Structures are given as structure tokens and as C-alpha cells.
A and B are shown apart, each in its own frame.
Chain A
Amino acid sequence: DTAVSQTPKYLVTQMGNDKSIKCEQNLGHDTMYWYKQDSKKFLKIMFSYNNKELIINETVPNRFSPKSPDKAHLNLHINSLELGDSAVYFCASSQSIGGGTEAFFGQGTRLTVV
């Protein structure tokens, strides 16, 4: 059973398009995240949601909009895609209370904007 699953695994799209990446966790965690790994291999946090509420919103263009319909899902919508958005996007989850600090990551979505 996959603990944190994100779809699609690969996404190739043209500049200007709008796309979504879905993420689901079956661990019962109350906090979910989106991280971006750029071409320089840095893993940087983009957003964090705790119990469906936005907790962290790093300096990310407002073309990126996370949506959390429930505690188990955190989807990432990206509007007007640009070449610089090409990266690997990782979803993750953790338990804020009573659990360890470690976050569990999905397998990543490699987004290529052409």
C-alpha cells in the first residue's frame, strides 16, 4: 500500500497551459506539504496545510494554488505554466501531534514545460 501517492508521475505540457497534480495520503496524518526540487537539486517547501488550513506559503508565484478538499488530499494547481516551472514536485505528509517530525514523501511528479 502506497502511503503517499501523487499523480501523474510524469507531466509534459506546453507553456501557458494549466495543470494539476494530485496527492493523497492514507497515513491518517493531519499535515501535508508540497516541495519543489529544482534543477540544482534543492528541495524547497512551497506550501504546508494542517487540517485543511494553509500554514506555510513560501514565496511562490500565485500561479500556484494548493487545494485541500480534506485532510487526506492536497492538490496543486498551476496556471499559465512557464519554462521555469519545470522541476520535480514532491508531496509529503506528517503528523503534527503525537507523531514523529519525519515527513513521508510521495514518489514525485516530474513536470516538464516545453
Chain B
Amino acid sequence: DQQVKQNSPSLSVQEGRISILNCDYTNSMFDYFLWYKKYPAEGPTFLISISSIKDKNEDGRFTVFLNKSAKHLSLHIVPSQPGDSAVYFCAARSGAGSYQLTFGKGTKLSVIP
């Protein structure tokens, strides 16, 4: 049973436009959400996170939005750059003190020059 779902396996965006990656979750115990970026043959790299007590967190070109009532979060990248082309994983933690992250399946973003 997938507790973290990324329903779009891939996304193509023109350079300079906005990329929106979506993530849905089912476990209401999740209290912290993270986005990771992964290039081929490399490990996932932490990108941005958000606590469940917030609805928005911004870091440069990256913004994560959280809608707790809908159990939905999204990552916005604006403007998108070719170097952003990678697989993006959504992850969630179930409660403070939990050591476990539950990952989605990932969305492959391609930014077209």
C-alpha cells in the first residue's frame, strides 16, 4: 500500500517556465515532508522540506506547498532550468523521533532548453 504517491512518472517543461511536481499521501500521521532530487547514478539529494504546521516553504527558486486537508503537497520550481532535469522524490516522516522516511516513486522532470 503506497502511503506516498507521485502519480506523474514524468513531466516536461520549457526552460524559464514553472515546473509543478505533485505528491499525495494517505497517512495522517505524517508530520514532515521532504523533496529529494536525484541525478542518474547518484544518490538522492535533499532539496527542500516543510513541516505539517506550515503550508508553504520557499528557498530560492523552489517552493513547497502543503494542503493538509487534501493530503497533498507540491513542489514549484520557477524559473525552470535545464540543470533541474532529474528525478524528484517526495518523502514523508511519521512523527517526531521517527527515523523512517517513506518515499514516493518519483517524477522525472525534463526541462527543455
Contacts and interface: CB of A to CB of B under 8 A. Distances in A.
Whether A associates with B in a native complex is: yes
Interface of A: 4, 31, 33, 40-45, 48, 50, 55-56, 90, 92, 94, 96, 100-108
Interface of B: 32, 34, 36, 41-46, 49, 87, 89, 93, 97, 99-103, 105-106
**Interface residue SS majority, chain B:** strand
**Interface residue SS majority, chain A:** strand
A102 B46 contact: yes
A101 B93 CA distance: 8
B105 A40 contact: yes
B33 to A, nearest CB: 10
Nearest to A33: B99
B38 to A, nearest CB: 8
